[in-house]
A and B are shown apart, each in its own frame.
Chain A
Amino acid sequence: MLQSEIRRATLVSLAALCGLALSGEALAALSTPAPELLTPEALRLTGILAELIIPQTDTPGALAVGAHKTIDHLLRACATPYDQQRFVAGLARIDAVAAEQGGKRFAALAPARQVALLHALDGGASPFTSADRAFFSQLKSYTLFAYYTSEAGATRELAYLPIPGGYKGNVPVTRATRTWAL
């Protein structure tokens, strides 16, 4: 499949998934020219998966904050060769299962199929194995790390208080309360 086809399929599926028009930021994020460790296809797949994990809601999703690019960078700069291989192999495995079951790579599947496949992966259901499930956990760790340490993830999705000014041991939870980012 041509890269442009993958990109189009990705955009269609993401737009459908979010029920929203994609922002310019998200569009730009998808067309990163030079990943550091992953192949362009693997980077794109990472972006799709990250957005499925942390989607755009009333705050930006993983794609809009460039979580996949952060993941690619952190994999190259800070991960062990073992973790790098595990990540790359995990992505390949998702594409292989997608091809086996749906005849297409993951990015080209209909959104509902993508979600169903991830549910199977998350639950370790056949054909996925415990190793595949461990990869999904790794992917989620990276996605959460990249998202919640991003500016939007920390300050818009969560409550960011770099200088609290002191410690209060009893603060009531209200509807507006959000988890502390730090």
Chain B
Amino acid sequence: MEAVSSFYIKDSSEPFDVIVVGSGITGGWAAKELCERGLRTLMVERGRPVEHRSDYIGEGIDPWKMPNRGLVDAKLSEEQFAEQRKCYAFDEHTKHFFNNDRDMPYSTPEGRPFSWIRGNQLGGKSLLWARQSYRWSDLDFEANAKDGHGVDWPIRYADVAPWYSHVERHAGISGQRENMAVLPDSEFLPAFEFNTVEAALKKKFDAGFAPSRMIMGRCAHLTKPTEAQAAQGRGTCQARNMCQRGCSFGAYFSTQSSTLPAAVATGRLRIATNSIVHSVIYDPKTNRATGVRVIDSETMQTREYFAKVVFLCASTLGSTQVLLNSTSSAFPTGLGNSSGVLGHYLMDHLYGAGASGHVEGFEHDYYAGRRPTGPYIPRFRNVIDQHPHFLRGYSLSGGAERERWQEQAGKPGFGKDYKAMIRHPGAWRFSLHGSGEMLPRFENMVSLHPTKTDKWGMPQLHIDCSFSDNDRKMQNDIADTAANILETLGVKNVHKEIKTLDQWPPGLSIHEMGTARMGRDPRTSFLNGHNQSHDVPNLFVTDGACMASSAWQNPSLTFMALTVRACDYAAQQLKLGQL
């Protein structure tokens, strides 16, 4: 590939139009949108390059050909992935796409765990995400203003709707039009099918719990690629559901499959990998960011890159860590932090609560393929009536599957009959688990550790985050309600579950949001309604750090839409000489 050698750079004194820090979901989008608007863009990535297809080293390998059949070496896991291994997607096929905890540690207060799950390579967590993609509605954008928790969002659904459409057409979102107010429709590729049991339970649910509805989960998978997507070299989803190993079909949205090729095609993109951004360079005379200071992850040497505009897309906590470390006499507590809110109002989603049970009958029904999504019940709590115990709401997702050998070890038996039993599809199980909104609270915060640094001398992040009373009450309601729904649908042996703090600490839902929030007032928020720093006009933060509330939907689609909207604004302002 001729272009490879020409777009990776190391040292450069070239003044770029824009520097984009990070190459994950938002970094990839920023690079694409800015390049396509004619701007010379430098993408700065702390990790190594990962080439589409050739670097998916864990993809397509039969389990018996893996050294540990998919399990990760215990010593390696303990020493280098003590946090990352808690992620459901961490295994022998994927471990190289996770951050090394030994080299990049962080601290938490005693008794208040936080799991910070990170990607550390070109493509970031776009290679690891769960690909669930949902729009927000005004129920979400108005939530802070209505109940007074967090500051009012400076934008509403109408501001973002066209940008949702813009990213959806390119990324490819599979789903079904439903016309539900709480969950606006996307630009859809065909939805995945329900299986027989799910279809039967959906019928009962829709009839018994109207106006609530069980829909098929919307996900960033090409069920039927458009011509434009096919022209990018992307193919149809094969329902392998081994996405985090990498997808050579390019069938799920990642930086590598979708945004990077588009950015590269403009000829205006340059990429500096193995380049850890230490801080944003600030010029007090002009009150502008002028570039970034970088530590080379391999040589430990420092270098600088310069641009007219800086976009931070380094992940929620990654971007905030860089900002906190960018101090000057004008901004002693972090660049653009005149409000003092930088690092505060950290949120995640409430997972770990739900219910499951057995579905009787349907012995003659099965399915084929591993669907990368499942049935989904959009938010129904606190939409019209107010629940007496908690604010905001949650979705439920799950699905029906027949038991396999993994579920049989705990059951009695051995020998020929036991083997014959496992040979045939087992009992049907149906489960629902919640994804709940976590309130934005000042005390949930990150700061730079006063003394501890990582392997490259960057101050470690100290993360202090805990669930609130509202969060706990919502989790209880998730489990109770999921169990109640299952029982009403006729599911047997229903078992409720609420994970403990140790089993599911904040962060493990990997939807960390906030710490550089958007808002209308420069005294109480870090960014304005265009993801632009209130204090430093040519500084933008468009990853999850910008979020003023968490809502209950998987957030990546909203990060994408906010990013492209900010790129459009920044490009216009740059043209007008306003940045």
What is A's interface to B at a CB cutoff of 8 Å? Answer: 52-55, 57, 70, 73-74, 77-80, 115, 118, 122-123, 137, 140-141, 144-146, 148-151, 154, 157-158, 161-173, 177-180, 182
Q: Closest CB of chain A to B421's CB: distance in Å?
A: 10
Q: Please, which residue of chain A has its CB at the minimum distance from the CB of B406?
A: A144
| Set A74, A115, A158, A166: member contacting B423, Cβ < 8 A | A158
Given the interface pairs A144-B408, A167-B367, the reply to whether A53 lies near B64 with Cβ below 8 Å is: no
- Residue B415 CB within 8 A of the other chain: yes
Q: Closest CB of chain B to A56's CB: distance in Å?
A: 9
Q: Closest CB of chain A to B364's CB: distance in Å?
A: 5
- Residue B237 CB within 8 A of the other chain: yes
How many residues on B have C-beta within 8 angstroms of the other chain's C-beta atoms?
Answer: 53
Instruction: Report whether B419 and A55 are in contact in the complex, using a CB–CB cutoff of 8 Å.
Output: yes
Number of interchain pairs (Cβ within 8 Å): 144
Residues of chain A within 8 A (CB-CB) of B365 are 170-173
User: Binary interface profile of B, 359-381, with partner A (CB < 8 Å = 1, else 0)?
Assistant: 00001111111110000000000
| Set B68, B366, B405, B419: member contacting A172, Cβ < 8 A | B366
Given the interface pairs A144-B422, A170-B367, the reply to whether A77 lies near B68 with Cβ below 8 Å is: yes
Q: Closest CB of chain A to B405's CB: distance in Å?
A: 5
Residues of chain B within 8 A (CB-CB) of A145 are 69
| Complex-state Cα separation, A80 to B363, whole angstroms | 39
If over half of B's interface residues share one DSSP class (helix, strand or loop), that class is named, otherwise mixed; here it is loop
Residues of chain A within 8 A (CB-CB) of B69 are 70, 74, 145-146, 149
Q: Which of B40-87 contact A (CB under 8 A)?
A: 60, 62-64, 67-74
| Complex-state Cα separation, A54 to B421, whole angstroms | 11
Q: Which of B237, B364, B366 has the most CB of A within 10 A?
A: B366
Instruction: Report whether A74 and B368 are in contact in the complex, using a CB–CB cutoff of 8 Å.
Output: no
Q: Which of B6-51 contact A (CB under 8 A)?
A: none
Q: Which of B555-578 contact A (CB under 8 A)?
A: none
Instruction: Report whether A179 and B425 are in contact in the complex, using a CB–CB cutoff of 8 Å.
Output: yes
| Complex-state Cα separation, A78 to B85, whole angstroms | 13
- Residue B338 CB within 8 A of the other chain: no
| Set B67, B199, B416: member contacting A55, Cβ < 8 A | B416
Q: Please, which residue of chain B has its CB at the minimum distance from the CB of A147?
A: B405
Q: Closest CB of chain B to A102's CB: distance in Å?
A: 19
| Complex-state Cα separation, A176 to B4, whole angstroms | 50
| Complex-state Cα separation, A177 to B200, whole angstroms | 22
Instruction: Report whether B370 and A167 are in contact in the complex, using a CB–CB cutoff of 8 Å.
Output: yes
- Residue B163 CB within 8 A of the other chain: no
7 A-B Cβ contacts within 8 A? A54-B419, A55-B419, A70-B69, A78-B73, A164-B368, A167-B368, A169-B199
- Residue B212 CB within 8 A of the other chain: no
Residues of chain B within 8 A (CB-CB) of A167 are 192-193, 239, 367-371
Residues of chain B within 8 A (CB-CB) of A154 are 62-64
Q: Closest CB of chain B to A171's CB: distance in Å?
A: 5
- Residue B418 CB within 8 A of the other chain: yes
Given contacts A77-B68, A162-B240, A167-B371, 17 further A-B contacts (CB under 8 A): A52-B415, A53-B415, A70-B69, A77-B67, A78-B74, A115-B415, A144-B405, A144-B408, A164-B370, A167-B367, A169-B195, A171-B368, A173-B363, A177-B425, A178-B423, A179-B425, A180-B425
| Complex-state Cα separation, A81 to B420, whole angstroms | 33
| Set A80, A140, A150: member contacting B64, Cβ < 8 A | A150
| Complex-state Cα separation, A73 to B66, whole angstroms | 12
- Residue B196 CB within 8 A of the other chain: yes
Q: Please, which residue of chain A has its CB at the minimum distance from the CB of B78?
A: A80
Q: Closest CB of chain A to B202's CB: distance in Å?
A: 11
Given the interface pairs A137-B409, A169-B367, A172-B366, the reply to whether A78 lies near B71 with Cβ below 8 Å is: yes
Q: Closest CB of chain B to A54's CB: distance in Å?
A: 5
- Residue B348 CB within 8 A of the other chain: no
